[in-house]
Structure 1
């Protein structure tokens, strides 16, 4: 199966330790990747370039939401781009899940597919307990997520078609962009579905983003996004 019409969008902030391997692995299946170096203080830009991905630089750190918007704008302008995937830089996301999600976009009446760690028959034990409690609390606090039937609104693995990419306009620069995207799904009547995915929690990824403080920030951003809707 060929994926010349698919673009992976990878936000990157200080991921020089792993980003080259993550991108090189993904490019074996998905040749078109744009990585947005979000003002990193390390060698992330050089590692992205070495991996053969398209590189877009933010001169200063703007946040993951801003990086995703920059990457989507770059990807949707490329000739032949039809499908788009937001993909984390730290090695948590699995290429096999992306393949399944893009295949569903090709064959099913759906505009956007959101990964879930809590779907039917999904083993919840893969998620650290603090993260699990926070993420499920965010969903409970979000009437929109419940209305759309989403169980894991803060999963960074999402696949969507050109219609969604063209209408994507993320304004929340921080982690609250995830709640904003959920609201946009409802506001724009994008046809949405979930895909059970496997998240690889390594010692590295745990140190980068699974702390209690990060969980509290996700929860707080979700509440803010709800109030700003």
Structure 2
């Protein structure tokens, strides 16, 4: 069994060092940081500490960075791939929970959820309403019940790695890939994980981008439900 942790990173100079060091302390699996054309010192920090990474020459967005990681996983024969955010929100202590669940359940994707059971997560009302909106959208469009569809903390098996290496949404992919997989009959489930607040830096998702995100995902999810 080979497991790869993929860490997409764009302008995460404030957090990338601690994120990778915490992962190295707690995780027995391989990892790769995909430096997504960062304009700050993210690339320098990765070089200085000898962290395993790939450098993209331009910013492709989270979708392009993750597809790069999935292609790397496919080419190097990994059985499972896990997405882990560079900003420190995802607790590496939950990695084993994700790995154990996907191996024992035989599911194709296991999502780390803040809501499938009670956790310590506290988010803004706007963020919680947005998540609830996508929960209902996925259920109406695809018939799947997912409590935390925007969670990026997720593991997939080799079948899905092959799918994602070939085709992956360009931006804001979390909800859209669930719709894609559900439409194709892949099995998806959730497990409880704890998530932290961003450990430094600034989120690239502005209110305007959030509106674009909701509109885009709504459109693509409905299209996939009809065809």
**Common fold by TM > 0.5:** yes
Contact kept, 8 Å, 1:65 with 1:171, in 2: the verdict is yes
Query: What is the SS of the residue equivalent to 1:160?
Result: strand
Give 1:78 shift: 1.5
Contact kept, 8 Å, 1:36 with 1:71, in 2: the verdict is yes
Specify every segment of 5 or more residues in structure 2 that has no aligned partner in the other structure, as ranges: none
2:24 to 24, 27, 31: 27
TM-score (norm 2): 0.87
Contact kept, 8 Å, 2:141 with 2:222, in 1: the verdict is no
- Summarize deviations over 1:32-62 as a string: whole Å, max 9, x none: 1111111110111122234443211211111
- Tell me the distance in 2 between the aligned counterparts of 1:145 and 1:27: 39
Match of 1:194 in 2: 190
1:80-119 matches, cutoff 5 A: 81-119=78-116
Give 1:149 shift: 1.3
Deviates more, 1:11-20 or 1:28-37: 28-37
1:180-219 matches, cutoff 5 A: 180-202=176-198, 204=200, 207-208=202-203, 212-219=207-214
Match of 1:70 in 2: 68
Matched length: 222
Does residue 6 in structure 1 map to residue 42 in structure 2?
no
TM-score (norm 1): 0.86
- Summarize deviations over 1:113-143 as a string: whole Å, max 9, x none: 01222213345x5222221111111222234
- Summarize deviations over 1:173-221 as a string: whole Å, max 9, x none: 111x12221122213322211012211014636x425754454343223
Match of 1:167 in 2: 163
Specify every segment of 5 or more residues in structure 1 that has no aligned partner in the other structure, as ranges: none
Query: What is the SS of the residue equivalent to 2:96?
Result: helix
Query: What is the SS of the residue equivalent to 1:97?
Result: helix
